[in-house]
Amino acid sequence: MSGSLGGGTYSFTQEASRLHEFAAMNSTNLFTPKYIGEVPNQNLHGSPQVDLIIVTYPDFKAEAQRLATYHRQQIICV
């Protein structure tokens, strides 16, 4: 996206007739994937259906568990 950088602030103009989302990054903050190993074939169609999957960063695990507990207590599955 064309714009200008000044004092650590990048400024640009975009039409606003609809909502836009932007992500900013530079090449020094990108993560490189690492090969860990092969994942064996799985029968995912044979797994029971789930209502919610929570994916979280390890630092937020306690809050994710709290959210899961809330959903277990509040959500009534039919």
Q: Tens digit of pLDDT for each residue in 27-57?
A: 676 777 889 999 899 888 888 888 788 999 9
Instruction: Provide the 10 A C-beta neighbour count for residue 56.
Output: 13
Global confidence as pTM: 0.39
Q: Tens digit of pLDDT for each residue in 12-25?
A: 888 888 888 887 77
Q: What is the mean pLDDT of the chain?
A: 84
Question: What secondary structure letter does DSSP report for 13?
Answer: -
Strand (E) or helix (H) holding 10: strand 9-11
Q: Which residue reads 């992500």 in tokens?
A: 23
